[in-house]
Amino acid sequence: MTSLIERAAAHDVEIQAIGRPDLDLSDPDSIERCLDAARADVVVNAAAYTAVDKAESEEELVTQINGAGAGLVAAAARRQGAPVIHISTDYVFDGTFDRPYDETDPPAPVGAYGRSKLAGEFAVAAANPEHVILRTAWVYSPFGGNFVKTMLRLGETRGQLNVVADQRGGPTSALDIADAVIAVAKGLIDRPGRFGIFHMTGAGEASWAEFAAAIFAEAEAHGRKPVEVVPITTAQYPTPARRPANSRLNGAKLRETYGVELPHWRASLKSCVARLLASPTT
């Protein structure tokens, strides 16, 4: 949301940001009240219950927010004749394929969060035929909590870090996602009809260990002390929720349909780290 607000200003697009406490995705009345009062050309839902591990013990709540709640947002957009852009995730897949996932590949979530996000995709599609579902993965930005900020913080006090090396994905800048969402929204207004599911991640791929090493290399270029990344396996770093080993998503459909392609993750990481080190409070 913060990235979208920042990039909207650069694209001269007007954004009405709605969220808690006014609109709570677990409260259907608040969704109707807020969205029926809003008048938008396109409705974007970037909100979700995202605590992947906690979701394992709160499946009812996460399903209500990410499933039913997402459907109600799409239905509200439908009532005002607007298309909905909905953000989804690589977690709808189990990650067992040995190539980047296509939109036509069968979803098979392995945890509560992934199941809830898949329920959301179905609910959005059922509630509003004019939907664009953008699945992304491994998101970071200068804002909020994320992997890049965690690595930079840990690197301040540690000379060595163990990082998982047997999961692969496309690190994705939220600022690049925001640019893509705005481009798709404009595309929907200019030439309606290109609905469906699309994959969208930073170009290229990495393991978490390679991603971490790149973060520390960028930080070192800005005068930070070196941090050694020790590659470990997923089994050596157990978490309550299972993660897909392969989170790579094929972005060809988005490129061919909307002409939208995200920059290489290393280029976007470079500017994110530079920005964070110049102004660590953002």
Q: Rule CB under 6 A: which residues touch ligand NAP? A: 1, 19-20, 23-26, 46-50, 65, 87, 89, 117, 136-139, 144
In sequence order, which residues have a C-beta less than 8 Å from that of residue 181 and are 6 or more positions away?
4, 44, 46, 85, 87, 134
Q: From the CB of 136, what's the least distance to ligand NAP, in Å?
A: 5
**Alpha-carbon distance 236 to 13, whole Å?**
46
Closer residue to ligand NAP in complex, CB, 224/241: 241
Q: Is 113 a catalytic residue?
A: yes
Which of 107, 128, 126, 130 is closest to 117 using CA atoms?
107
Residue closer to ligand NAP (CB basis): 26 or 162: 26
Distance in Å, CB of 210 to ligand NAP, minimum: 16
- Helix 265-278 × helix 174-190 angle, to 10°: 120
What's the closest the beta carbon of residue 228 comes to ligand NAP, in angstroms?
A: 25
Longest dimension (CA), the chain: 55
Which H or E run contains 173? strand 172-173
Residues sharing a CB contact under 8 Å with residue 141, sequence separation 6 or more, in sequence order:
2, 3, 148, 173, 174, 175, 272
3-class DSSP state of 257 = helix
Q: How far is the CB of 157 from ligand NAP (least distance, A)?
A: 24
Three-point CA angle 205, 210, 216, nearest 5°: 125
Is omega for the bond preceding 21 within 30 degrees of 0, making it cis?
Answer: yes
Rounded CA separation 137/104 (Å): 17
**Catalytic residue from among 49, 91, 101, 113:** 113
CB-nearer residue toward ligand NAP: 183 or 224 = 183
In terms of CB distance, is 224 or 253 closer to ligand NAP?
253
Q: Which of 210/224 has CB closer to ligand NAP?
A: 210
Closest approach of ligand NAP to the CB of residue 230, in Å: 23
Residues annotated as part of the active site:
113
